[in-house]
């Protein structure tokens, strides 16, 4: 077995007086695909910067195999005074590196190299930094949130490029679909230390939950005192994360209603609209057209949005997603056609830049809107500390200045502010940026319970699948099409994912077979085995839930451990086994149910 290319051993580092890393380790071998995961603020980016040699730990060792080349993509690209993008990319090349590869990468990423760094958008800056990191074809590649600010075509291109990358890869990302395709090993950074799972991301969350549940049981067994807030942060989200049958069923019902609404829109749109009761109709677009400089951005688009719809708007950068969003919400008048808004709309917008946050305010002041300790949520007063805990903040952070919060914490704060304000229409622009996996789960749960309507612009395919009742897609030349279901449903119906704009379509190499697989899925039937599983799994899950309840009741006996330790351990092992079996059954049922929906939609 070849020796590791990169080793971090017993890494310690403090953030002020707070320990951030307390014995973290990381080992990366040739060709390995490692995902580094953990909560926002857990130290993932810091550990990756230590791996890159940009930060020195207080204690511990770093080893890089002599002769091995290493390149990194930081979360915030630093252009270091470069006058052009090409100057920035070329500065990262070694004597033996091929500048033609760097030029090719820039072309694939939609850049010329003549762009001025100070004038780049967030997506352009990320693509320039990716070109610099990938150009030398290094032995070790460290990527910190590489998909942030990228549109769907760029993400698809990057997935394909990294799938063919021959070196070792360590990546931090919140994009489940991205991690699921590229990861082969998981390193979980939690409370300063690391745990490793030599399996793909698809198996990580179940493993993590099992670790936390065993830890909680052990703490309870030994009668250890657990701080209440820390207990909620570690175990509460895990419990809420599990996708239950009610939530899946409600989303399926909403998607079915959306299909029926879309079918009705094409025939008796105005009659149906006039018949809607007050507050049921949110927005009605009739033959809407909008253009700039003679170029149509939206052309002859019609749709109807009803209360509780969750509409995703997707397309490449520059396709006009913001324009369409502004048309549907009445912020922008159409050149032709008509947009009719429902009565009594109360809209709240979450912007992706977080610019509306005053860095000088404390977290508590930002939530309350000034002095005081009460925040109004859904028409009721709540203590701000209790509301903070809903968004994974601990009481000690109440006086923390907004300016020192991490990107993920600022994202959580923006969500808390937006969801506290009374509304029946939420407009979310890239809400998943900088959020960790646990916070994404929390956001999805809150959106599932939200009784109003949601319009969301996002490049996160898994988020769109879990939240949306329909997806509006840019088809090119100003044409937009509404598809019932999430992103995967759209791909199944459309036969392909989101492509780059026509002017750029020849530049990035299209992922081989990426759109074909879902289309093929839509054409085939469920096998006898799949159909049988779909029919029998609900009964199996119900039986497992009954067995789990019985075991929990038996383990709840206060004297069981002291009276019969062997029996206690046997019941504990059985409980772990049954819970894992239930999680696997739920996951299998969900996948089969989504497959069935895709086939019927096709």
Please indicate if the annotation marks 241 as binding a ligand: no
- Residue 121 sits at the vertex; the CA angle it makes with 120 and 125, to the nearest 5 degrees, is 65
Please indicate if the annotation marks 291 as binding a ligand: no
Domain C-terminal end among 208, 234, 262:
208
| pTM value surpassing 0.85 | no
Please indicate if the annotation marks 356 as binding a ligand: no
Beta carbons of 166 and 31 less than 8 angstroms apart: yes
Shared-domain flag, residues 407 and 472 = no
Domain C-terminal end among 447, 475, 508:
508
pLDDT of res. 561: 78
Place of tokens 């909403």: 254
Rounded Cα gap, residues 185 and 579, in angstroms: 23
Which structure tokens are listed for 124? Answer: 């352009």
Shared-domain flag, residues 251 and 291 = yes
Mean pLDDT by 10 residues, the chain (602 residues): 85 88 95 92 91 95 94 90 94 91 92 91 90 94 92 91 93 92 93 93 88 76 50 50 57 76 48 41 92 88 92 89 91 92 86 67 88 81 86 83 79 82 86 79 82 91 91 92 90 82 40 31 54 81 87 83 83 83 77 69 54
Shared-domain flag, residues 79 and 135 = yes
DSSP characters over 357-390: S-TTSBHHHHHHTSSSSEEEETTEEEEHHHHHHH
For residue 514, tell me if it sits in a domain.
Answer: no
Please indicate if the annotation marks 320 as binding a ligand: yes
For residue 267, give the 3-state DSSP assignment. coil
Tell me the three-class secondary structure of 163-185, residue by residue.
HCCCCEEEEECCCHHHHHHHCCE
Rounded Cα gap, residues 433 and 430, in angstroms: 6
User: What CATH code is carried by the domain that includes residue 583?
Assistant: 1.10.287.380
Please indicate if the annotation marks 321 as binding a ligand: yes
* Those residues with Cβ within 8 angstroms of residue 362's Cβ, 6 or more apart along the chain or in another chain: 398, 399, 400, 401, 402
User: What CATH code is carried by the domain that includes residue 308?
Assistant: 3.40.50.300
For residue 324, tell me if it sits in a domain.
Answer: yes
Shared-domain flag, residues 258 and 178 = no
Beta carbons of 462 and 437 less than 8 angstroms apart: no
Shared-domain flag, residues 23 and 61 = yes
For residue 215, tell me if it sits in a domain.
Answer: no
Please indicate if the annotation marks 344 as binding a ligand: no
Please indicate if the annotation marks 193 as binding a ligand: no
Shared-domain flag, residues 127 and 264 = no
Shared-domain flag, residues 254 and 379 = no
For residue 541, tell me if it sits in a domain.
Answer: yes
Residues written for the chain: 602
Please indicate if the annotation marks 45 as binding a ligand: yes
For residue 438, tell me if it sits in a domain.
Answer: yes
Beta carbons of 119 and 128 less than 8 angstroms apart: no
Shared-domain flag, residues 159 and 169 = yes
Q: 37: closest CA among 282, 208, 181?
A: 208
Please indicate if the annotation marks 517 as binding a ligand: no
Angle of helix 245-265 relative to helix 565-601, nearest 10 degrees, comes to: 10
pLDDT of res. 221: 60
Shared-domain flag, residues 48 and 147 = yes
For residue 23, tell me if it sits in a domain.
Answer: yes
For residue 1, tell me if it sits in a domain.
Answer: no
Strand (E) or helix (H) holding 215:
helix 204-221
Please indicate if the annotation marks 43 as binding a ligand: yes
Please indicate if the annotation marks 322 as binding a ligand: yes
For residue 537, tell me if it sits in a domain.
Answer: yes
Rounded Cα gap, residues 125 and 226, in angstroms: 44
Angle of helix 204-221 relative to helix 565-601, nearest 10 degrees, comes to: 150
Shared-domain flag, residues 486 and 369 = no
Shared-domain flag, residues 486 and 552 = no
Please indicate if the annotation marks 38 as binding a ligand: yes
Please indicate if the annotation marks 601 as binding a ligand: no
For residue 416, give the 3-state DSSP assignment. helix
Please indicate if the annotation marks 289 as binding a ligand: no
Which structure tokens are listed for 422? Answer: 């009374």
pLDDT of res. 600: 63
CA distances from 51 to 11, 24, 39, 64, 148 (A): 10, 11, 19, 9, 21
Rounded Cα gap, residues 452 and 344, in angstroms: 12
Domain C-terminal end among 367, 396, 422:
422
Shared-domain flag, residues 333 and 371 = no
Give me the domain span that covers residue 338: 247-346+423-508
Report the domain count for the chain: 4
């Amino acid at each position: 077995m070849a020796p590791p290319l990169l080793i971090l051993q017993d890494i310690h580092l403090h953030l002020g007086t707070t320990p951030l890393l307390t014995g973290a380790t990381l080992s990366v071998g040739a060709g390995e695909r490692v995902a580094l995961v953990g909560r926002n603020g857990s130290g993932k980016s810091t550990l990756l910067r230590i791996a890159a040699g940009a930060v020195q730990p207080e204690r511990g060792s770093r080893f890089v195999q002599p002769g091995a080349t290493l390149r990194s993509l930081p979360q915030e690209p630093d252009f270091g005074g470069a006058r052009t993008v090409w100057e920035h990319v070329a500065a990262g090349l070694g004597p033996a590196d091929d500048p033609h590869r760097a030029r090719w990468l820039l072309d694939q990423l939609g850049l010329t190299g003549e762009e001025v760094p100070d004038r780049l958008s967030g997506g352009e800056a990320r693509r320039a930094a990716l070109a610099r990191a990938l150009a030398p074809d290094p032995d070790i590649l460290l990527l910190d949130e590489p998909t942030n600010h990228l549109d769907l075509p760029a993400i698809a291109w990057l997935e394909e490029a990294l799938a063919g990358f021959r070196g070792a890869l360590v990546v931090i990302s919140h994009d489940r679909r991205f991690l699921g395709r590229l990861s082969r090993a998981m390193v979980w950074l939690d409370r300063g230390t690391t745990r490793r799972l030599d399996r793909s991301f698809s198996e990580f969350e179940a493993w993590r939950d099992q670790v936390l549940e065993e830890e909680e049981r052990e703490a309870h067994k030994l009668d250890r005192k657990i701080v209440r807030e820390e207990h909620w942060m570690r175990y509460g989200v895990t419990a809420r994360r599990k996708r239950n049958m009610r939530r899946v069923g409600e989303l399926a019902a909403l998607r079915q209603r959306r299909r029926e609404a879309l079918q009705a829109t094409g025939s008796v749109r105005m009659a149906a609209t006039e018949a809607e009761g007050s507050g049921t109709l949110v927005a009605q677009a009739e033959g809407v057209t909008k253009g700039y400089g003679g170029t149509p951005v939206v052309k002859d688009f019609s749709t109807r949005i009803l209360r509780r719809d969750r509409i995703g708007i997707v397309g490449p950068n520059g396709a006009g997603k913001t324009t369409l969003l502004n048309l549907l919400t009445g912020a922008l008048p159409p050149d032709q056609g008509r947009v009719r808004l429902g009565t009594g709309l109360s809209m709240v917008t979450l912007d992706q830049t977080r610019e509306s946050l005053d860095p000088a305010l404390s977290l508590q002041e930002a939530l309350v809107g000034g002095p005081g300790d009460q925040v109004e949520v859904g028409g009721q007063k709540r203590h701000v500390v209790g509301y903070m805990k809903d968004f994974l903040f601990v009481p000690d952070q109440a006086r923390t200045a907004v300016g020192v919060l991490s990107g993920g914490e600022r994202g959580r704060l923006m969500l808390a502010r937006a969801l506290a304000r009374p509304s029946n229409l939420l407009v979310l622009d890239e809400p998943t940026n900088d959020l960790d996996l646990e916070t994404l789960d929390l956001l999805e749960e809150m959106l599932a319970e939200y009784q109003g309507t949601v319009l969301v612009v996002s490049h996160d395919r898994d988020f769109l699948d879990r939240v949306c009742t329909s997806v509006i897609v840019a088809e090119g030349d100003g044409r937009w099409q509404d598809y019932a279901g999430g992103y995967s449903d759209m791909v199944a119906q459309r036969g392909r994912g989101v492509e780059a704009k026509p002017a750029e379509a020849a530049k990035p190499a299209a992922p081989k077979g990426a759109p074909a697989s879902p289309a093929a899925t839509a054409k085939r039937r469920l096998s006898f085995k799949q159909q049988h599983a779909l029919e029998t799994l609900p009964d199996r899950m119900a039986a497992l839930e009954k067995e789990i309840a019985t075991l929990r009741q038996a383990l709840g006996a206060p004297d069981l451990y002291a009276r019969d330790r062997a029996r206690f351990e046997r019941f504990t092992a059985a409980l772990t086994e049954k819970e894992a079996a239930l999680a696997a059954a739920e996951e299998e049922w969900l996948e089969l149910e989504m497959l069935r929906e895709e086939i019927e939609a096709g």
